[in-house]
Amino acid sequence: MAELKNDRFLRALMRQPVDRTPVWMMRQAGRYLPEYRETRAQAGDFLSLCKNADFACEVTLQPLERYPLDAAILFSDILTIPDAMGLGLYFETGEGPRFEKTVRTMADVEALHQPSADGDLGYVMNAVGTIRRALNGRVPLIGFSGSPWTLATYMIEGGGSKDFRFAKAMLYDQPEVMHALLDRLARAVTEYLNAQIEAGAQAVQIFDTWGGALSHPAYREFSLAYMSRIVKGLKRSHDGRTVPVILFTKGGGQWLDAMADSGADALGLDWTTSLTDARQHVGDRVALQGNMDPSVLYASPDRIREEVERILAEYGKGAGHIFNLGHGIHQFVDPDRAGAFVEAVVELSPKYHR
């Protein structure tokens, strides 16, 4: 593989000095870009886009052609593992992801296929390898997975949910079933992320989208414990380089201390957590990633720039900050506003690194 020309993102994850704050956006390859919508139309549907390495590569690179980003993120979906477990993933227009089968009993858990990362999910590894070759050392490639708890919610509910009725009923009433499911998922996620690292991912992120929906003790028992187990099972170096790990729990600001003890190199923050407070909590144990409200991108370029300056000042001087949104970019954002955001980070951040 080609020598990495821009390692700013990886250096910041390891809290090493950088010339400016690195920046990337969660969901940076997505529906807000007209070129993405064209490629998706060519592919036929979302799953076909994910499963074709050339299309997945094309959309991964699209935001890098527009913006001076410091990382690419694999184009895939967090629900690839449940799909490979035999639940039958499909997408309903306007409804989001759905599953043909749900997991509600111990028998359902035991009937799940334990997927092979290189076999059942080989199309993801093909995409990783294709993207790494196409990047040719331009920026690092991030691999990712959903967290066991987040994946479990979709598998139990049969899709997205506002109240997690069935998942929380299982958690409180049949914790042994929930633990059995999370154990299977933790093993699958560990193998999946390690295979992505072997295929060429240079950092990995675990997306715990729904961890913030849990009570304080339930988060530690049913989400963080399994993410910590995954972190401990990951390959932490490949091709002579450290492979950093980012944990991101949306709504997880109250658990930063415990998350910093997980063994991860960096924690993602949503916009409800102060970077100053987070930095005081975690000290120099981990880097911090975030945390602009994605809705700021609906504002004027001047207002976006002000918010970027505020967040940079909130983190303060020194290494260990990766600028990002506090969640994925919204589909109705004007691409020029996303450009104003990235350019503001590039222009305004160097003074925090002198």
Domains identified in the chain and CATH numbers:
8-270 (3.20.20.210)
- Of 7, 70, 77, 83, the active-site residue reads 77
Sheet holding 72-73, edge to edge: 72-73, 141-146, 203-208, 245-249, 266-268, 287-292, 321-325
Which tokens is 142 given?
């991030």
Three-state DSSP class for 206?
A: strand
Q: Is the pLDDT of residue 93 over 80?
A: no
Amino acid letter, 155: M
- Of the candidates 148, 316, 328, the residue with the CA atom closest to the CA atom of residue 224: 148
Rounded to the nearest integer, the mean pLDDT of the chain is 96
Tokens 């020029």 — which residue?
336
- Beta partners for 147? none
Local confidence band at 96 (pLDDT 50, 70, 90 cut-offs) = confident
Q: Is the pLDDT of residue 334 over 90?
A: yes
- Of 27, 66, 98, 220, the active-site residue reads 27
pLDDT at 237: 94
- Of 37, 40, 98, 236, the active-site residue reads 40
pLDDT at 256: 96
- Of 36, 67, 154, 226, the active-site residue reads 154
pLDDT at 88: 94
pLDDT at 92: 75
Is 77 annotated in the active site? yes
Across the range 140-154, mean pLDDT stands at 98
pLDDT at 1: 73
Answer for the pair 120, 84: CB distance below 8 angstroms, yes or no.
yes
| pLDDT tens track for 242-289 | 999 999 999 999 999 999 999 999 999 999 999 999 999 999 999 999
Residue count of the chain: 354
Q: Is the pLDDT of residue 65 over 90?
A: yes
Burial (CB count <10 Å: 0-12, 13-18, 19+), residue 50: buried
Binding site as annotated, residues for substrate: 27-31, 77, 154, 209, 327
Q: Percent of the chain having pLDDT more than 90?
A: 95
pLDDT at 2: 77
Local confidence band at 19 (pLDDT 50, 70, 90 cut-offs) = very high
Tokens 């049949």 — which residue?
174
Across the range 203-220, mean pLDDT stands at 98
C-alpha distances out from residue 161 to 46, 80, 165, 180, 307, Å: 20, 18, 8, 21, 31
Phi-psi region for residue 315, left (φ > 0), alpha (ψ -120 to 50) or beta?
Answer: alpha
Local confidence band at 109 (pLDDT 50, 70, 90 cut-offs) = very high
Is 315 annotated in the active site? no
How far does Cα 251 stand from its chain's mean position? 14
Across the range 61-67, mean pLDDT stands at 98
Q: CA-to-CA distance for 258 and 156, rounded, in angstroms?
A: 27
Is 40 annotated in the active site? yes
Strand pairing report for 96-99 and 141-146: unpaired
- Of the candidates 251, 335, 248, the residue with the CA atom closest to the CA atom of residue 297: 335
| pLDDT tens track for 217-240 | 999 999 999 999 999 999 999 989
Dihedral, 279, 343, 250, 76 alpha carbons, nearest 10: -130
- Of 31, 37, 220, 236, the active-site residue reads 31
